[in-house]
Chains A and B, each alone.
Chain A
Amino acid sequence: MRILAIATRVIKELIRDKRTLTLMFVAPIIIILLLSVLFSANSTTNVKIGTVAVSKTIRSNLDNTKHVAVKTYDSKKQAKKALKDEKIDSIIQKKSSGYSITYANTDSTKTTAVKMAFKNAVTEDTMTTMKNQMGTMKTQLQTTASALTKVEQLLPAKTRAKLASQASTPKTTTKVTKVAKTKVTNHYVYGDSSTGFFDKILPILMGFFVFFFVFLISGMALLKERTSGTLDRLLATPVKRSEIVFGYMISYGILAIVQTIVIVMATIWLLGIDIVGNVFNLVIINLILALVALAFGILVSTFARSEFQMVQFIPLIVIPQVFFSGIIPLDSMADWVKDISYIIPIKYSGDASTAIMMHGAHLSTLGLDIGVLGGILIVLTFLNIVGLKRYRKV
């Protein structure tokens, strides 16, 4: 009874706080839309290469590469000036011993793009040279063959007949060897050819929004209860400490469910993101994450004396979650860095949501993620119930 009364009260307060409510539902949609635009526009890198004394074939090879533009300079000095003025991203100079390349290197993706383009151009150049050489060899062969026939005709008829009987003249027919183009057909298990980085981070982002808002708003709410004295007043009634914590859990759980549905609907309708699995499963995962965020928020609020101090916990608690959530690939990191991610709740929700959205996983196969989240939740909730003893000794 009391749990429900607390939950309804918290929800009532939330609903009447129109600005916070708008922020919770509109802000994630705006950020997701922005990110989707940003990442789809940024998937290609355009580079400008300045060349000095580079052969025409390599230049045209480079120029034919997508997203690469070539500008020829007469001297290295001119090219260097252009590089300094940020007109070009790198300089390729042909020297007697080979090539010398200077990168601006202010953007590592551009450096990589130039390296790739140049490598391809050189490979292609080598291939062309080889092809040309083969062509030359072919003409030489033809010349030899015709010369041979001429020699043959100069021979006396008798010898010619003898020769013919010994071996039939090798017919030097030149076959035009056409290299059959290998046909490649792409099949995508998830999404289509336009599926990119954004699709990968979306499940994690969704969890992040739920975590961030529930953490901050619930922490602030409890802090306000404490500073305004309502918590004391509440604890001066026979309410159990656990009833307060559970009441908050119900109300913020409902909030998280609504928020998740709004975000999921926005991603499906506005962005046309493909969700393979069941949306309901996604809601369940985010609900558990929201409860963890709530428990974090309540716990942290006990260490904050004001709203301002509460905000100071964002870089300490929320931002690291983003780093280790999987948005930045952890595979290439050192082992001890990877280990940190094992205590990050968003990692588990991110893994589970990714499995649901991209592989259509069912909840029953996500036992580990749900189990760990559940474990964190139970420990934090217990700490919160005990922690309220600070304000009332029973």
Chain B
Amino acid sequence: MTDSIISLTHLVKKFGKQTVLQDVNLDLMPGEIVGLIGPSGAGKSTVIKTALGMEVADGGSATVFKQTMPNRQLLSRIGYMAQTDALYEALSGRENLQFFGKMKGINKKNISTEIKHAAAVVDLTEDLSKRVSGYSGGMMRRLSLAIALLGEPELLILDEPTVGIDPALRRQIWKELGSIRDEGRSILITTHVMDEAELTDRVALLLGGRVMAFDTPQNLKKQYEVPTIEDVFLKAEGVQS
């Protein structure tokens, strides 16, 4: 896997005495959507934080764009969306986008076209001037996603992006994610919604700090002899316990 975007090999992460990640092996190729599924507390967020360089691996290696994380400069090429909406509620939607755009280092000329595009994807164009404090939960989620999309990053890391978003918009977002993949950019996404996992190119099943299975949805279903990813999830969890 020489040209992989993200490469985690034998990753170990401990918090105090608790070992959260025991041996995580994961790679993300250009133009690929990898879904990360697993029960709460399995370590999904820790995998993401290590990939972003917010945490440092205690063992194994974590490289992004072939460089070892943490690396501050690489962050300009990554779009990140956290589980929490993480927005400045006193500011308007546009001001939030502008601020994070500047932080990402997008140059002034492109920033307004970038904002226009990102807002259009998440269907927020008309509400950009409103303060975020007046947004509904779904609107906040969409704005949060729009911030991650700013600057056309080569890698998107999305932590539960579609929570609280209605089905029609969710479909639209997945369509956009699909076209991002088709441009050759990569996406690492965590989700609780199992039918979303079916839409990814490969699914990593994280259980107890280990990647139990990592393959295409079709192969996983075949391997576990079940009809859906949800059943794969339940079966794998059953084996664990």
Q: Which residues of A contact B (CB under 8 A)?
A: 1-2, 5-6, 9, 12-13, 16-17, 228-230, 232-240, 391-394
Choose among A5, A229, A393 the residue that contacts B99 (Cβ–Cβ < 8 A).
A5
**CB atoms of A393 and B55 under 8 A apart:** yes
Interface residues of B in 74-90 (CB under 8 A from A): 74-76, 78, 80, 82-88, 90
In the complex, chain B residues whose CB is within 8 Å of the CB of A393? 53-56, 70
Give the complex CA separation of A264 and B85 in angstroms: 41
Give the complex CA separation of A228 and B140 in angstroms: 13
B52 interface residue per 8 A CB criterion: yes
**CB atoms of A392 and B90 under 8 A apart:** no
Interface size on B, residues (CB 8 A): 32
B23 interface residue per 8 A CB criterion: no
**CB atoms of B87 and A230 under 8 A apart:** yes
**CB atoms of A237 and B76 under 8 A apart:** yes
Choose among A2, A228, A238 the residue that contacts B84 (Cβ–Cβ < 8 A).
A228
Q: Which of A229, A391, A394 has the most CB of B within 10 A?
A: A394
Choose among B53, B88, B131 the residue that contacts A9 (Cβ–Cβ < 8 A).
B88
Q: Which residues of B contact A (CB under 8 A)?
A: 52-56, 70-76, 78, 80, 82-88, 90-91, 95, 99-100, 102-105, 131, 147
Give the complex CA separation of A232 and B52 in angstroms: 10
Give the complex CA separation of A88 and B94 in angstroms: 71
Give the complex CA separation of A158 and B53 in angstroms: 132
Give the complex CA separation of A392 and B71 in angstroms: 10
Choose among A2, A16, A240 the residue that contacts B102 (Cβ–Cβ < 8 A).
A2
**CB atoms of B102 and A5 under 8 A apart:** yes
**CB atoms of B54 and A229 under 8 A apart:** no
For this complex, 24 residue pairs linking A to B, each with C-beta atoms less than 8 Å apart, are A1-B102, A9-B88, A228-B85, A229-B82, A229-B84, A230-B86, A230-B87, A232-B54, A232-B82, A232-B86, A234-B103, A236-B52, A236-B54, A237-B103, A237-B105, A238-B72, A238-B74, A238-B104, A392-B70, A393-B53, A393-B54, A393-B70, A394-B70, A394-B71
Given A2-B103, A9-B99, A393-B54, is A236 in contact with B85 using a C-beta cutoff of 8 Å? no
In the complex, chain B residues whose CB is within 8 Å of the CB of A229? 82-86
> How far is the CB of B94 from the nearest CB of chain A, in Å?
12
In the complex, chain A residues whose CB is within 8 Å of the CB of B83? 229
> How far is the CB of A241 from the nearest CB of chain B, in Å?
9
In the complex, chain A residues whose CB is within 8 Å of the CB of B76? 237-238
**CB atoms of A237 and B90 under 8 A apart:** no
In the complex, chain B residues whose CB is within 8 Å of the CB of A391? 54
In the complex, chain B residues whose CB is within 8 Å of the CB of A394? 53, 70-72
In the complex, chain A residues whose CB is within 8 Å of the CB of B131? 16
**CB atoms of A233 and B86 under 8 A apart:** yes
Chain A residue nearest to B87 (CB atoms) is A230
In the complex, chain A residues whose CB is within 8 Å of the CB of B84? 228-229
